Amino acid sequence: MDDARIIRRRLSPRLWLAGGWLLLALLAAIFAPLIAPQDPLAQDLMLERLPPFWLDGAEPGYWLGTDSLGRDLFSRLIFGGRIAFIVAFAAAIAACLVGSTLGLIAGYFGGWADRIISRIVDIWMAFPPVLFAILLVAVLGTGLSSVILAIAIIDWTRFCRVIRAEAMGQSRMDYVENARIAGYGRIGIMLREVLPNVLPSIVALLSLEMGIAVIVEAILSFVNLSISTDDPTWGGIIAEGRLSIHQAWWVLVFPLITLILTVLSFSQFGEALKARFDPVLR
C-alpha cells in the first residue's frame, strides 16, 4: 500500500535516530567499566575543574573535563547511565503492569470496578507527583529499589487512565459483541480481543514512561534522595553542576544534554513504535 509506505518512510529517521541514541547510551552503560577512561569515583584535587578537551588547560584522558573534586565527567556520565537505565526499565515495566491491568479492568468491565479504580486514580492525581515521589523515597528509605518502587507507585495512573479510555472504546466495538455472541468468556475477550488492540498505546506509553522515570530519578538525585551510595547518577552530577555553575559550566552542560537526548529519544521512540504497530495506520 502506498499510504503505508509513505508513513513508514517519514517515520523511519525518527525511529532510527531515537533508537540509535538509546542503544548507544545503553551499550555505554552496560560496558561502562570497559569504556570509562578513569575511575568515576577517583578524586584528585590536582585535577579539579579541568575543562573539556577543546579548551585550554584540558588534560588528555579527561575528555569532558572534571568536577570540583577532580573526578572525570565522562566516566561519571556513562556509569550514571547504569542507574538511569535500570530505573527506567524496572520502574516503567512495574508501572505499566499495574496501570494497564487496572485500566483494562476498569475500561472493559465498567460498573463498580470502574468506579472504584477511577476514584483511586482521582485521589492519586490530587498529589503533586514530584512531592509524592520525594515523600515516598524519604519514607521507604533511599536506595535503588525505593526509587523504582516510588516511581511505579506514582506513575501507574498514566497507564491506567489511557488504557481505561481505550479499552472502554474497544469494548463498544462490534467485534467484542461478536466474540460474546460466539460464547467467549469475559476475561477471555478482554485478554484476546481488547488487549491486542490497546497494545500499541501500551508500548508507546511504556517508552514515554521510561523517559519520565529517568527524569524522576534525576530529580530525586538532585535533591539528594536517590540511591544514597557514592555511585554517580545523572541527577547527582547535575546537582554538583548547579553549585559550581560559574566556575565549571561543563559539569552541568554535559549531563543536561545527555538527559535531554535520552528523554526526547524515549518519547520519539514510543511515538514511532506506536505508529508502526497501529493496525489502522499499518
- What residues make contact with other proteins under the rule CB under 8 A? 119-120, 122-123, 125-132, 134-136, 138-139, 141, 211-212, 215, 218-219, 222-223, 225, 238, 242, 245-246, 249, 252-253, 256, 259-260, 263-264, 267-268
Nearer to other proteins, 36 or 261 (CB): 261
Nearer to other proteins, 168 or 243 (CB): 243
Degrees, nearest 5: CA angle 161-163-168: 100
Nearer to other proteins, 74 or 254 (CB): 254
For residue 119, the minimal CB distance to other proteins (Å) is: 7
Nearer to other proteins, 36 or 256 (CB): 256
Q: If DSSP codes are grouped into helix, strand and coil, which group holds residue 147?
A: helix
For residue 80, the minimal CB distance to other proteins (Å) is: 15
Region of 46 (left: φ > 0; alpha: ψ -120 to 50; beta: rest) is: alpha
How far is residue 128's CA from residue 139's CA, in Å, rounded to a whole number? 16
How far is residue 272's CA from residue 277's CA, in Å, rounded to a whole number? 9
For residue 153, the minimal CB distance to other proteins (Å) is: 9
For residue 249, the minimal CB distance to other proteins (Å) is: 6
Nearer to other proteins, 187 or 260 (CB): 260
Contact 93/150 with Cβ under 8 angstroms? no
Nearer to other proteins, 178 or 247 (CB): 247
- Long-range contact list for 197-202, CB < 8 A, 24+ apart? 197/166, 197/170, 197/279, 198/100, 198/104, 198/163, 198/166, 198/167, 198/170, 199/277, 200/273, 200/274, 200/277, 200/278, 200/279, 201/162, 201/163, 201/166, 201/274, 202/96, 202/100, 202/159, 202/163
Contact 224/138 with Cβ under 8 angstroms? no
For residue 218, the minimal CB distance to other proteins (Å) is: 7
Nearer to other proteins, 101 or 118 (CB): 118
For residue 156, the minimal CB distance to other proteins (Å) is: 14
For residue 281, the minimal CB distance to other proteins (Å) is: 18
**Inter-CA distances, 163 with 43, 248, 278, Å:** 48, 45, 15
Nearer to other proteins, 125 or 173 (CB): 125
Nearest residue to 247 via CA among 40, 50, 44: 50
How far is residue 198's CA from residue 160's CA, in Å, rounded to a whole number? 12
In sequence order, the β-bridge partners of residue 66 are 72
For residue 195, the minimal CB distance to other proteins (Å) is: 27
